[in-house]
A = this chain, B = another copy of it.
């Protein structure tokens, strides 16, 4: 018998009982990431079209009658929100392992920039972005924030993959792939926003200013103005290296965050990635103005850029997402590994094992990232009414036994390879480790073919 009023699972059966659901995920422990909510054991999630219509214990969440229902079996598994990769250059999978263990300037100016100039094209960006998308699906990411060039192609790849994302056109005051004349960069950014603004409810177009150093004050201000007109976030690399801090101090007399604030960029629509060398006044400035930060620990480690002060960032309460950066400086897109590293790096760098706890880092990789991207009304936690962006993490491998605490297991023991099912917008993108939306063999074959042409 179905109760007729709303219960504590949030399901109004009176309205939904006559409508069969489209997808049911059931049997495991649900970590909802709803603040204050305890894990739900033997959970059931009901999905109608693109949204969660109920989540609760299976015993209290009966499946409405009628119609045919697809079921995801989450027995011996964790049901959780899909991860949000809040800083990626997805198509850079093309350059995975192309240049490692090099000083930053040599890496960027002698390897990556020339490789991008020589080998990026609409075709290669499309293929690289598809590879990044399938890698993200495989490792449990359901939403990404991307910035790169030839971004029509990244939109195309993200669209085809079924992922959710903020896809931004790169803005830089140098000749760039697809933007040979930097005088055209703003106009092309504007065209990009116009073209994709109403394309899909899964894809938000945006702009990505490369950095305060590589974009002039005028470029930064114009990018901000256009982003505001379209009501979309503006991404930027901020305070990634000490060199950047010195250069901005030299040209403006201010530290990078204050410089951006002076230009009017520090507001609730700013997504600042890295933030390695932000001092206390800069953190306060970002927080006061509602700006968002994205922590990118593995890339900062690999390029030897430094360690962001996550203890202070957390204490201040700055909204923080977690990102992998591109595959040329990581070299994978596995946010499970990134969570583990983020927690451990914060502990050792502060000599405080409580500096960044497991739940907080899981929050960064889910609801924190969604909030950073302005998508927290839609994704980042498992709640009735939100989009059904859900992953199922298999617990059958030895490294996930025993299980004293599922959050600890997710952060410190699990890896992307433990993800077995991925649902975005109510649509399964991976079922029992089989991809539903993309052709893995074809994607990998095409990128291997392209990689044979990449050399310097």
Q: Which residues of A contact B (CB under 8 A)?
A: 93-94, 96-98, 100-104, 107, 131, 134-135, 138-139, 298, 300-307, 327, 330-334, 337, 340-341, 343-345, 347-348, 350-355, 357-358, 396-399, 401-405, 408-409, 412-413, 415-418, 440, 443-444, 447-448, 450-451, 454
List, in ascending order, chain B residues with CB within 8 A of A303's CB: 347, 353
| Complex Cα gap A326–B131 (Å) | 35
Number of copies: 2
Query: 12 A-B Cβ contacts within 8 A?
Result: A101-B343, A135-B398, A138-B397, A302-B348, A303-B347, A306-B351, A327-B413, A331-B408, A331-B409, A401-B447, A402-B450, A415-B416
Give the most central of A135, A305, A401: most B CB within 10 Å: A401
Assuming A97-B405, A334-B399, A399-B416, what are 12 further A-B pairs, CB within 8 angstroms?
Answer: A100-B357, A101-B358, A103-B353, A139-B399, A298-B344, A301-B348, A304-B353, A331-B408, A337-B337, A337-B340, A396-B444, A397-B417
| Contact across chains for B304 and A355 when beta carbons are under 8 A apart | yes
| Contact across chains for B402 and A451 when beta carbons are under 8 A apart | yes
List, in ascending order, chain B residues with CB within 8 A of A300's CB: 348
Give the most central of A304, A398, A413, A448: most B CB within 10 Å: A398
List, in ascending order, chain B residues with CB within 8 A of A354's CB: 101-103
With A97-B412, A353-B102 as contacts: A443 and B301 at CB distance below 8 Å: no
List, in ascending order, chain B residues with CB within 8 A of A396's CB: 444
Closest to A101 in B: B357
List, in ascending order, chain B residues with CB within 8 A of A94's CB: 402
Shortest beta-carbon distance from A305 to chain B in Å: 7
| Contact across chains for A301 and B344 when beta carbons are under 8 A apart | yes
Shortest beta-carbon distance from A95 to chain B in Å: 8
List, in ascending order, chain B residues with CB within 8 A of A353's CB: 101-104, 107, 302-304
| Contact across chains for A404 and B134 when beta carbons are under 8 A apart | no
Closest to A305 in B: B348
List, in ascending order, chain B residues with CB within 8 A of A397's CB: 138, 417
| Contact across chains for B96 and A402 when beta carbons are under 8 A apart | yes
Determine the main DSSP class of A at the interface with B: helix
Shortest beta-carbon distance from A446 to chain B in Å: 10
With A398-B138, A401-B131, A451-B403 as contacts: A351 and B412 at CB distance below 8 Å: no
List, in ascending order, chain B residues with CB within 8 A of A330's CB: 412
List, in ascending order, chain B residues with CB within 8 A of A333's CB: 399
With A100-B405, A100-B408 as contacts: A138 and B302 at CB distance below 8 Å: no
| Complex Cα gap A343–B330 (Å) | 11
| Contact across chains for B415 and A96 when beta carbons are under 8 A apart | no
| Complex Cα gap A397–B304 (Å) | 28
List, in ascending order, chain B residues with CB within 8 A of A104's CB: 353
| Complex Cα gap A344–B304 (Å) | 8
